[in-house]
Structure 1
């Protein structure tokens, strides 16, 4: 069977599995819709959390960034992984003990304020829609290549599938769907990586192949080969990078604290039966994440070597366009690879475009989001492996999209309606409102998927920055400071997310021509400005606290109760 037929078959079977699970696990109450009834086993929750957290940015785009940026791309690995540890150790068990459904729920009750709840609802929805834009774009990219449809059509197909299990099943359906999606995505990520590692280095494990010598190269290491190719073609050294130390620090920090403040990840820890299960679940999640994250640098490096050798030829003189491999023509149809024969010699040549020889100007533009998806094709792997990767990319994007949609729907139905505007609505009315909110959110997210504000991982990085500047300080102070009051928390969240959003919007959309280190604040890029937003949040909150009323005694006692280990085996039911 050809690639397209196999893709239809494997992706179709995976969709049937997801929809079947959604129907089986259909939510019958708001507790099942919001937190899967609070009875998910730690192992299953760990797998579901890993799938929720490893989005299209992790599966599709992270290795693509590392492949193109080399050392500079490592900030995503360090930031996202470190952030998950921070979340698991410092936030998740305390939030689970608090026993609420959502992050705005915690902020509204902890800061004894309707305004604080409304600010948190706004932040949650803003962050989630920013994040969803990247996920739906990832779905469109996968479909456009492997089902040979327009990116827009791919987004619509993904929208319909997510509608079924997010709107029908709620958190219960999403949880068990994400368990299946993790199995699909991890298998799809590892199989081609192992194949290519064996072919290029003779090592079964990609993690060791990444640091090994290339077969038939007289002892040349993979990374040495990449450094040589990068220098020869005018790129920055692959293992050195070009970002300043402060920008690397800021991006890593923003991704770390942003991870710890992401509402769709935090809500996953409300689904386990007990507080101690939260820590067990977090440990399992780290194991499941590590399997993919330790493989990503190897995938990136192998793909980069193969791509350059394929386009420029083994001798570096270029490849005849008429004889170009099938993968180039396939991706060219999607518009994600373009060829401009600048010197009219009929040969493709890929460089940084900085080489003095005009005959060597860059003629091939490759969208970095295709690297993981195209990797099996570049390496001439069997058709079933190529189809499997397509299914994995879709699973990664859909799993996170579903989690984000749930946060949006619960923010509207539970936090806005039930807890703020209409406290007397019934459980059945609240469940209906949650489903309607999810439907509207799916339509809006499809629009962002069709008109994305950047490539997948870049858009996702902005969501982390916004979460770092808004939720993280409010949650940390809410847990570890008995004295932080509502005025301080609200002022901090508003200024933090306001500054960060304004900085990103200015450099990315208003004046992109100024988006360079010369014009950045302290040399910090829009991807890293969330760390500065976080510091501003903390600082403003501390200043406002000095000039406003003290936190009520009952709130201080509630915070003490959250932190007190006594009774931590069981969570409070509210």
Structure 2
């Protein structure tokens, strides 16, 4: 762990010389990142500790059925790179866009486009708090379980160490360290899935043990063969809800979409389009059902405690396996997962607050943008730390709610911007407002009040309302669509040349 942290510090220090020259370099690495680096960085940023700890632990409660959540994620990874990636890269170059909110302003050019930019920035800040809280919470539990580090200290270390190397390296530092972390995470996923089999003595022995257990579910009823029976411990509706709300972040979340901005050339884009889903799919197969396998390692009393604290399952597994070398390797990979996601989100927060809110409200000299971005990143981490100390939900629910907000608020506006020439500024605003309002109402006013609707995730009604609002309002305000000349700039009349070639 010490060697790993020293390497990260050294990497961030080395890359800060390139990262601090211009806004383009600090925000999007001057669009010069090789495809293989972007591919690994996309994978490591999306598959964070929310997956390696939260989702892996959740299958302890819901069994191997939970692996289907990973199937949805892999499908949306393919959709993201095949449908959004190339167009997002090309349009961001044509419009000289550095952030997702400024893409909205530049794409939906009108008197209201500044309002779209600010509204999207507010949504990003709202959703990001819950997502970052989930990551820090998962890593803090891991440190407490394995190393007996107090929860508050572990959360502080995770948040502020990541913040400092993000401040130092900017997008250059994030992309290259994320690529290294992606390699570590891929290896650790394979290592972790093997531990329950090694512990009990092989595949046949473990599968026989989890096929029929005397452990009880969260509701207090016997699990029996529920771990290996599809849909017995949770409804398919809930699986689909989590699968969509988190998986669809790949087609709507700024920290992932900004990856498309950084790709160096078309060859790099083709590499990433092919290999990112492979990295994603293999790791998810290893991780998503891990918790169910841990049932074969625990006693009835231990299972009763873990069923209500699934964020602690992975840490407990490593402690039970009791091999310091293996634990150290896995801990390194799990921290890599958390840091990769936190670093990317932290930079998005900084760019959003400074470039898409502060600079829009009161334009500032270019030379002040980067220093102010660094300051607000640190301040935002302080806010997230408070929520981590007093978390409002577990890791999976925090991540799923944040994902649902992104999906419903942004995807119709992004997809419409990339593909629909008839999309309008009012359509974009209506879509964002509908998405976040329905999300909040359904999450806090419907699911908690009506038990029969508890498994219907807010992503379903929120996304439907958002997409209908975008299409309906855009069609009713067709006269507000941008001018033909601007649409020609956005969509182009011929393929975009490679950025590095001019």
Alignment TM-score, normalising by the size of structure 2:
0.89
CA contact under 8 A between 1:48 and 1:182: conserved in structure 2? yes
1:375 aligned partner: 317
Conserved in 1, the CA contact under 8 Å of 2:121 and 2:352? yes
Match of 2:436 in 1: 497
Q: Structure 2: how far apart are the matches of 1:507 and 1:12?
A: 47
Partner in structure 2 of residue 290 of structure 1: 281
Encode CA deviations 1:387-416: one digit per residue, 9 max, x unaligned: 222222222112101110111111122222
CA RMSD of aligned residues (A): 2.6
Deviations for 1:27-50, whole angstroms, at most 9, x for unmatched residues? Answer: 222222111222111112211221
Rounded Cα–Cα distance in structure 2 between residues aligned with 1:146 and 1:377: 6
TM-superposed deviation, 1:161:
0.8
Cα gap change, 1:250 to 1:368, in 2 (>3 Å): closer
CA distance in 2, matches of 1:460, 1:33: 27
* 1:531 aligns with one of 444, 460, 468: 460
Which residue is equivalent to 2:100?
A: 103
Structure-2 residue corresponding to 1:554: 485
Whole-Å Cα distance in 2 between the matches of residues 350 and 147 of structure 1?
A: 21
Aligned to 1:50: 43
C-alpha distance in 2, partners of 1:197/1:255? Answer: 29
Deviations for 1:298-353, whole angstroms, at most 9, x for unmatched residues? 5333212212xxx23xxxxxxxxxxxxxxxxxxxxxxxxxxxxxxxxxxx4755xx
Range 141-150 or range 189-198, more displaced? 189-198
Mapped pair 1:408 → 2:336: no
Counterpart Cα distance in 2 of 1:298 and 1:539: 35
Partner of 2:265: 274
User: Using a 3 Å threshold, how does the CA distance of structure 1 residues 531 and 401 change in structure 2: closer, same or farther?
Assistant: same
**What is the Cα deviation at residue 145 of structure 1?**
2.3
Contact 1:46 1:284 in 2 (8 A): yes
- Distance change >3 Å, CA 417–CA 63, structure 1 → 2: same
CA–CA separation in structure 1 for the residues paired with 2:500 and 2:459 = 33
TM-fit CA distance, 1:69: 0.7
Q: 1:569 to 1:391 in 2, by over 3 A?
A: same
- Conservation of the 8 A alpha-carbon contact between 1:139 and 1:398: no
Aligned to 1:86: 79
Are the counterparts in 2 of residues 259 and 467 from structure 1 also a CA contact under 8 Å?
A: no
**Deviation for aligned residue 1:223:** 5.5
Alignment equivalent of 1:31, drawn from 4, 14, 24: 24
- 8 A Cα contact 1:75 1:251, kept in partner: no
Matched, 1:234 2:225: no
Contact 1:133 1:459 in 2 (8 A): yes
Matched residue count? 485
Matched residue, 1:263: 254
* 1:344-355 correspondence to structure 2 within 5 Å: 348=301, 350=303
Give the whole-Å Cα distance in 2 for the aligned partners of 1:263 and 1:369.
Answer: 26
TM-score by length of 1: 0.78
Q: Structure 2 vs 1, CA of residues 493 and 64 (structure 1 numbering), >3 Å: closer, same or farther?
A: same
2: CA distance between counterparts of 1:263 and 1:54? 15
1:483 aligned counterpart, secondary structure: coil
Give per-residue Cα distances to partners, 1:342-372, cap 9 Å, x unaligned: xxxxxx4755xxxxxxxxxxx7765101222
Structure 1: distance between partners of 2:450 and 2:377: 35
Q: 1:96–1:275: 8 Å Cα contact kept in structure 2? A: no
CA distance in 2, matches of 1:168, 1:298: 37
Question: In the TM superposition, what are the counterparts of 1:100-499 in structure 2 within 5 Å?
Answer: 100-112=97-109, 113-200=113-200, 202=202, 209=203, 213-214=204-205, 221=208, 224-225=211-212, 234-235=222-223, 237-238=226-227, 239-241=229-231, 242-297=233-288, 299-307=290-298, 311-312=299-300, 348=301, 350=303, 366-378=308-320, 380-418=321-359, 420-423=360-363, 425-499=364-438
The 8 Å contact of residues 251 and 529 in structure 1, kept in 2 or not, is answered as no
The structure with the largest alpha-carbon Rg is 1
Per-residue deviation, 1:544: 1.8
Structure 1 residues 75-124: Cα deviation after superposition (integer angstroms, max 9, x where no partner): 53133222222211111211111122211121111111111111111122
- Report if the CA contact (8 A) 1:87-1:260 is conserved: yes
Cα separation, 1, equivalents of 2:287 and 2:268: 29
Structure ranking higher in helix proportion: 2
How many angstroms apart in 1 are the aligned matches of 2:216 and 2:307?
16
| Structure 1: runs of 5 or more not aligned | 1-10, 203-208, 313-347, 352-362
Seen in structure 2, the aligned counterparts of structure 1 residues 276 and 350 have a Cα distance that, compared at 3 Å, is closer
Q: Secondary structure of the residue that 2:391 maps to in structure 1?
A: coil
1:13: how far off? 1.7
Q: Does 1:74 align with 2:67?
A: yes
Gaps spanning 5+ residues in structure 2: where?
Answer: none
